C-alpha cells in the first residue's frame, strides 16, 4: 500500500502521463503553483462545470446564471472589505529570508527551513489581491485588481439580473469563472493555486428565513458532491467558529485528501453585509420591495462557493485505485474509477488486429459514436496495454472489434471497474453506455457480464 504522500506523487505523475494536468510554462521550468489542463483534464473540468450549471441553473426556475468581468471598479473591493481585510500577517526568517504565515508557525521559535532560533521579524500584512493598472498611466488612480472571488460580480448586478429575469425573493444568481489570489503558501498540487476557477451561487432571501435556507443549501451541496460519485465516507461538514468579516455562519464541505481533511466548498450566511456595503459605497439602493409581505428590506445572502480545480483534484484522489489485474492477479493495474458521467472519454475503441477489415469497422464505429460521446481510437500494442491506458484515463468502456464482429456485427464491451465483458450489437452501444451511466455504482459492472 503506497503511503499517503506517495499517492499524491503518483496522482501528479498520472496527470502528466495521461494529459490531465501539468505545470504551466513547463519548458521554462514552470511558474510557481500554476497549472494547465491537457485534453483529458479539460474534458473532466467541462463535465463537472456542466453538471453544476445543469443542476444549479438549468433545472431550477429560481436561479439565474451570469458571466461578469474579471476586472471590476476598484471601489467594489473597498466596499467588499477586500482592500482592508484580505491580508495575511507574514513573518520573515532573518537568516534565510523565507516567509511564513504568522498563524501557521503557531508557537514555533525555530525556522522550519534553516533551523535558526529566534530569527523571526515582527508580522507584516501581505495583500492577497493581484494588483495591476488600467490604461496607459501607472498611478494610484489607475489601480485595478484581478478578482479574488466571482461573488462580487453577482452582488453588484443584483438589480441588472433580478429585473429582466422577473425574479422574486427567494432567488439565486450563479456563475462560474476564474479568480486570482496571491497565495503565500500555495501547494499540494492544484489544491491551493494562485489562479483557479470558482462555481459560486448567491441566494437572496428574506432575513428571517436565512437560517432555513442556510441549512437547505448545506444539505443540497453535500448531495451534489455525492451525485458526482464521491465515496460518502470521504465527505464531511465542518462548522466554523472563527468567521470571515462578512459571515454570520459558515460551514465547509471537506474532503479527506491524502494530505489531510481540507475544504472543498464553503456555505455561508452573509447576512445583508454585501448588499448594504454596495448600497453605501455606490449610493444605489439595494432595497427590495416584497409585494407579498408589503415590506422593504435588504435581502440576506446564502452563498455556496466551491472551487472547480479543488473538486477535480478530490475526484482524481477519490477515483484512484491500484489493484490486481483480473486475469493476472500477480500484476497490478492503476485505474481511475470516475463516475461515467464525468469521465473525460466514455468509450475506447480497439481493432483486435490491424488486418482482416477490423480497423475499418472500428473506425466506422468511432465516427458514429463521436456524435454521442467523447471516444478514443487505439490500435497500438497489445489489447492488454490498450486497456491499461484507458483504465488510467478513467474510460468506463472499451470496445473490441474481433473475428466474430465480421460475422455477426457484435463487439465485446469491457467495463472498467470490474473488467468484465459482454457481447453487444454495434447498434446497441450508445444505449448500453447511457443506461449504465444512469445506474452507475462503483464496482457494479455490466448486467450479464463475464
Ligand atoms: N466568495 C467566498 C469565497 O471565495 P473561499 O472559501 O475563500 O470563499 C471558496 O473560497 C472556494 O474557492 C474554496 O472552498 C475553494 O474550493 C476555492 N479556492 C479558494 N482559494 C483557492 C486557491 N487558492 N486555489 C484553489 N481553490 C481555491
Which grid cell sits at 168?
422574486
Which residue's alpha carbon is nearest to atom 17 within ligand 1? Answer: 307
Given CA atoms 318, 320, 322, 323 in this order, what sign does their dihedral have?
positive
- Distance in Å, CA 209 to ligand 1 centroid: 26
Per-residue pLDDT, 123: 87
pLDDT 10s digit of each residue in the chain, 450 long?
A: 467 669 999 999 999 999 999 999 999 999 988 999 999 999 999 999 999 999 999 999 999 999 999 999 999 999 999 998 888 888 888 999 888 888 778 778 889 889 999 899 988 888 899 999 999 999 999 999 999 999 999 999 999 999 999 999 999 999 999 999 999 877 899 999 999 999 999 999 999 999 999 999 999 999 999 999 999 999 999 999 989 888 999 999 999 999 999 999 999 999 999 999 999 999 999 999 999 999 999 999 999 999 999 999 999 999 999 999 888 889 999 999 999 999 999 999 999 999 999 999 999 999 999 999 999 999 999 999 999 999 999 999 999 999 999 999 999 999 999 999 999 999 999 999 999 999 898 888 887 766
Q: In whole angstroms, what is the distance from residue 377 CA to residue 367 CA?
A: 10
Per-residue pLDDT, 449: 66
- Bridge partners, residue 175, by sequence: 200
Per-residue pLDDT, 237: 98
Indicate the SS3 state at residue 421: strand
- Contact assessment for residue 162 and residue 171, using Cβ atoms and an 8 Å cutoff: yes
pTM over the 0.85 mark:
yes
- Contact assessment for residue 151 and residue 167, using Cβ atoms and an 8 Å cutoff: no
Per-residue pLDDT, 379: 97
Q: Kindly list the structural domains of the chain, giving each domain's residue range(s) and its CATH number in brackets, ordered by start.
A: 39-72+148-315 (3.30.930.10), 325-443 (3.40.50.800)
- Distance in Å, CA 394 to ligand 1 centroid: 27
H-helix or E-strand containing 292? none
- Bridge partners, residue 262, by sequence: 255
Per-residue pLDDT, 447: 76
Q: In whole angstroms, what is the distance from residue 36 CA to residue 52 CA?
A: 21
The residues lining ligand 1, judged by C-beta closer than 6 Å to any ligand atom, are 149, 151, 181, 183, 192-193, 196, 198, 200, 263-266, 303, 305-307, 309-310
- Return the ligand 1 atom nearest residue 148 CA: 4
- Contact assessment for residue 392 and residue 18, using Cβ atoms and an 8 Å cutoff: yes
Amino acid at each position: 500500500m503506497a503511503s499517503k504522500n506517495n499517492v499524491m506523487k503518483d496522482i501528479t505523475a498520472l496527470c502528466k502521463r495521461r494529459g490531465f494536468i501539468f505545470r504551466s510554462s513547463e519548458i521554462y521550468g514552470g511558474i510557481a503553483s500554476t497549472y494547465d489542463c491537457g485534453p483529458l483534464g479539460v474534458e473532466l473540468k467541462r463535465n463537472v462545470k456542466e453538471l453544476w450549471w445543469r443542476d444549479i441553473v438549468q433545472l431550477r426556475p429560481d436561479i439565474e446564471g451570469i458571466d461578469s468581468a474579471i476586472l471590476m471598479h476598484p471601489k467594489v473591493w473597498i466596499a467588499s472589505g477586500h482592500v482592508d481585510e484580505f491580508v495575511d500577517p507574514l513573518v520573515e526568517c532573518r537568516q534565510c529570508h523565507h516567509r511564513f504565515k504568522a498563524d501557521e508557525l503557531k508557537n514555533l521559535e525555530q525556522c522550519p527551513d534553516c533551523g535558526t532560533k529566534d530569527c523571526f521579524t515582527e508580522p507584516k500584512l501581505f495583500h492577497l489581491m493581484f494588483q495591476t493598472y488600467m490604461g496607459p498611466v501607472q498611478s494610484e488612480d489607475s489601480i485595478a485588481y484581478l478578482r479574488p472571488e466571482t461573488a462580487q460580480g453577482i452582488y453588484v448586478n443584483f438589480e441588472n439580473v433580478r429585473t429582466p429575469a422577473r425574479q422574486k425573493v427567494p432567488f439565486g444568481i450563479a456563475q462560474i469563472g476564474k479568480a486570482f489570489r496571491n497565495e503565500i503558501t500555495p501547494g499540494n498540487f492544484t489544491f491551493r493555486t494562485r489562479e483557479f476557477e470558482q462555481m459560486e451561487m448567491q441566494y437572496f432571501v428574506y432575513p428571517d428565513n436565512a437560517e432555513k435556507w442556510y441549512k437547505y443549501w448545506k444539505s443540497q451541496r453535500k448531495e451534489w458532491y455525492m451525485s458526482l460519485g464521491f465515496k460518502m465516507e470521504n465527505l464531511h461538514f465542518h462548522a466554523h467558529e472563527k468567521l470571515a468579516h462578512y459571515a454570520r455562519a459558515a460551514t465547509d464541505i471537506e474532503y479527506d485528501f491524502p494530505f489531510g481533511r481540507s475544504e472543498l466548498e464553503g456555505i455561508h450566511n452573509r447576512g445583508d453585509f454585501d448588499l448594504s456595503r454596495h448600497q453605501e459605497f455606490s449610493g444605489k439602493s439595494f432595497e427590495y420591495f416584497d409585494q407579498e409581505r408589503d415590506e422593504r428590506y435588504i435581502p440576506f445572502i446564502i452563498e455556496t462557493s466551491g472551487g472547480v480545480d479543488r473538486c477535480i483534484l478530490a475526484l482524481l484522489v477519490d477515483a484512484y485505485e491500484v489493484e490486481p489485474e483480473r486475469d493476472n492477479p500477480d500484476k497490478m493495474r492503476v485505474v481511475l474509477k470516475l463516475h461515467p458521467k464525468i469521465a473525460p472519454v466514455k468509450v475506447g475503441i480497439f481493432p483486435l488486429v490491424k488486418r482482416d477489415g477490423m480497423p475499418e469497422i472500428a473506425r466506422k464505429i468511432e465516427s458514429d459514436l463521436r456524435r454521442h460521446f467523447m471516444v478514443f481510437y487505439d490500435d497500438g500494442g497489445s489489447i492488454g496495454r490498450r486497456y491499461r491506458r484507458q483504465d488510467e484515463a478513467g474510460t468506463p468502456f472499451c470496445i473490441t472489434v474481433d473475428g466474430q464482429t465480421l460475422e455477426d456485427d457484435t463487439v465485446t464491451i469491457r467495463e472498467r471497474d470490474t473488467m468484465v465483458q459482454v457481447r453487444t450489437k454495434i447498434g446497441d452501444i450508445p444505449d448500453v453506455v447511457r443506461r449504465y451511466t444512469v445506474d452507475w455504482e462503483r464496482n457494479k459492472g455490466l448486467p450479464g457480464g463475464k
